[in-house]
Amino acid sequence: MFYAISVIGIILFTFSYNSVGTDRSASQIARSIADRIISESTFETKSVTLQNELGIQVLDYNEFDNQENSEFYSITNIYSSQDTALKFGINYSGVAEIYFNKKKVFYGEKANDSFLKEIAYGIFDFTDTFTVDLRFGQNEILCKIISDNQSPKIFLREIPQFAEDELTAEFKLNILGYKNLPNQWVNIGPITKSNSIFNEILSNKLQNSYKNGNETLTWKLFKEKFVEELVISETNTYQRESYLEWHYANGTVLFGLQALADVLNESKYSDFVNKAINYTLENFKLFKDQYFSKYAFRGSNHRLFRRTMLDDTGAPALPYLENYLETNNAKLKFLIDEMSEYVTQKQMRLNDGTFCRPEPTEMTIWADDLFMSVPFLLRMAKLTNDYQYYDDVSTQVINFYKYLFDEEMNLCKHAWFSSTNEKSLVFWGRANGWMLWAVSETLLNLPHNHKDYNRILELYQNHINGIKKYQNANGMWHQVLNKKESFEETSCTAMYIIAISRGIENKWLNNEYKAVLEIAWMALKNNISDNGIVKDICRGTSVGFDYDFYFNRKRFDNDPRGLGAVLTACSEMIKYGY
C-alpha cells in the first residue's frame, strides 16, 4: 500500500517539479552548490578591532612596564535595571581583590598564569566565583591585582542561570570624564606595593593622577587590540561565517566536496579542499596567537584552539583526516594527532564510555555528537590499524541508541539528561539525521566480522523504519519529525537520503525504500535554486525544552549545517544515475 501511494506521489511531484524547470541532474545540482561555495570563499583576512566577546571582561596588564611585584587598579561601572544579585566567575594570576561599591567582595591568590577556558558554549572553567548585590542604576566595580612575578591579568564574566540566557550585567565606563563607554575600564599602574594610593581611591573621590614615588601616574584605557579576521564578501549568500572557518559544519562541507570530487572524478573540487586545508595550516600560528595572546574568544578559527567539545575536533578535522589518508601529507599529522588525542582521551564521557556534554545540564548526551565523533574515529582506525577505534565506534553507536531511541516511535530524541535519567522532549529532524549519517558511515567502514556489526545494522534498520513513517506526502521531513505544524527542513531530508541510498546500495534495506528515496530526492532538489542556493536549512540548535524552541528556529540560505549533507546526498544520487 505504501509503495503504491509513494509511486503516485512521485508521478504527481515529478509533474510539479518539471513544470517549474527543476529537472536537473544530481551532478548539475551538486556543481551549482559547490561552484557557489568556491566562488564565495575568499582566501584572505582583514584587520579589525578586537571587540568584547561573550561578555568577558579582560584586564590584561602586559602592556604596562615593570609588571613584577607591582599593583594595578582598574575601575568601571555596572548598570542594572533593578536591585538584584548577580554571580560572577573570575580567573586571574597573582593576588586579586574585587570591590563593589567600595565593599570587598572577593580576595584570592593564584600562583600560576591563568587562561579562561570555555568548556561548552557559554560555559567557562572559572578559578573562583563571587556574588554581588547590584542596586538599581549605576554601580562601581574596582579590581586590584598584585602581579607577584607573574603576567598580571583578570578575566571576569557574569554567570547566568543557564548558559544561553542573556547577560544582565551592563559594563559601561562613566567616570573621570568618560561618558558611557561600553566594556571599557580605566586603569592605573604599575604601583609600588605598600603605598597609600589604594586607600585613597577607596575613601575619596577619584583623582585624575597620583604620585607613586617620584612618578606621577594617570588613569588610562587599555590599548586597542587588532586581529585578523577571515573575509566574508558582502555579496555572499551566507554571512555568519566564512566557509574557511574551522567549524563542524564547514568540516561537513569540505567532506561533502571530497565525496563529490571522488564520484565525479573532478579535481576542481578536491583542489579547493586542499587549498582550504593548506590555508588553515599556513595561518595556524596567526590564529593561535590571536586566541591565546589577544583573547579573541570568538575570533576567526577560535574553535581550532578552544578544543573543548567534539564540535571543535572530530567533525571539523574529518576532511583533514580524509585528505591525509589519501595523500599522506606529513604537514597534517600534528593536527590530526592533536584532534585524535582530544576525542579519545579528553572528551567528556559517562561512566560507560558514552560521549556527553556539560550542557544544558551536566553529562547530557546529544544526538549530534554521534556524527561529530564516529566518522573521525572510523578513519583513525583505518589510519592506525588500531582495532580499539572500532570498538569505541560500536560503543558509541549502541549506547547512543540505548539512551536516545524511542522504541514505540522508532525515532531518537535530541538528548538524554544524566541529571534526571530522562530523554529530552523533541524528535528533532537533524538530530536523527546526524545519527543516521554516522551509522551509515559505521556500516560502510566497520569490519563486517566485528562482534557488534549485526547489532548496529539492526539499529539502523529500525531507525529507518521510523523515519519512513514520518515522511511528508511531498517527500520532505519536518523540523520536528512527528509535528507537521513544524516547517519542512532541508538538512535532515538530505541526511535521510544519504542513509537510505546507502542502505539500498549495500542491501541493508530492501527495494521497498526506493520509492521513499526517489520522492525525497525530488523534494530536496526543489529546495535548491539553479544557481546553487539551498533553502530552509535550520540554524545551529542547542537542546530545547519545548516545541516552540524548535518551531521558531531561524533558517538561513546555504547554512553549512546543511550544505555538507546536501552535497553528500547529491553524490549518492549521482551513483544512482540521477
Cα–Cα distance for residue pair 202/110, rounded to 1 Å: 24
pLDDT at 13 over 70: no
Of the candidate ranges 17-31, 67-81, 83-97, 456-470, the one whose mean pLDDT is the lowest: 17-31
C-alpha cell at 310: 567534539
| pLDDT (mean) for 341-354 | 98
C-alpha cell at 576: 544512482
pLDDT at residue 97 in the model = 95
pLDDT at residue 14 in the model = 40
pLDDT averaged over every residue in the chain: 93
Cα–Cα distance for residue pair 308/311, rounded to 1 Å: 8
Q: Report helix, strand or coil for 147.
A: coil
| Confidence bin at 18 (pLDDT 50/70/90) | very low
| Confidence bin at 11 (pLDDT 50/70/90) | very low
| Confidence bin at 39 (pLDDT 50/70/90) | very high
pLDDT at residue 110 in the model = 76
C-alpha cell at 77: 561601572
SS3 string, 188-222, reads EEEEECCCCHHHHHHHCCCCCEEEECCEEEECECC
pLDDT at 398 over 90: yes
Q: At what angle do helices 560-575 and 248-264 cross, to 10 degrees?
A: 20
pLDDT at 6 over 60: no
| Confidence bin at 112 (pLDDT 50/70/90) | low
Of the candidate ranges 212-216, 271-275, 377-381, the one whose mean pLDDT is the lowest: 212-216
Cα–Cα distance for residue pair 545/419, rounded to 1 Å: 15
Cα–Cα distance for residue pair 222/187, rounded to 1 Å: 7
pLDDT at residue 3 in the model = 41
pLDDT at 168 over 60: yes
Q: Which residues pair with 230 in a beta bridge?
A: 45
C-alpha cell at 541: 540548535
pLDDT at 49 over 60: yes
Beta strands 209-212 and 170-173: pairing type? unpaired
Exposure string for 401-414, b = 16+ CB within 10 A, e = fewer:
bebbbeeeebbbbb
Neighbours of 287 (CB within 10 A): 22
pLDDT at 69 over 90: no
pLDDT at residue 415 in the model = 98
Q: Which domains does the chain have, with CATH numbers?
A: 2-42+230-575 (1.50.10.10), 57-218 (2.60.120)
pLDDT at residue 420 in the model = 97
Q: At what angle do helices 513-525 and 2-19 cross, to 10 degrees?
A: 20
SS3 string, 432-494, reads HHHHHHHHHHHHHHCCCCCCCHHHHHHHHHHHHHHHHHCCCCCCCEECECCCCCCCEEHHHHH
pLDDT at residue 164 in the model = 81
Tell me which of 6 and 252 has the higher pLDDT: 252
Is the pTM higher than 0.85? The answer reads yes
pLDDT at residue 113 in the model = 62
pLDDT at residue 22 in the model = 60
Of the candidate ranges 102-111, 292-301, 568-577, the one whose mean pLDDT is the lowest: 102-111
| Confidence bin at 111 (pLDDT 50/70/90) | low
pLDDT at 60 over 60: yes
| pLDDT (mean) for 329-341 | 97
pLDDT at residue 274 in the model = 97
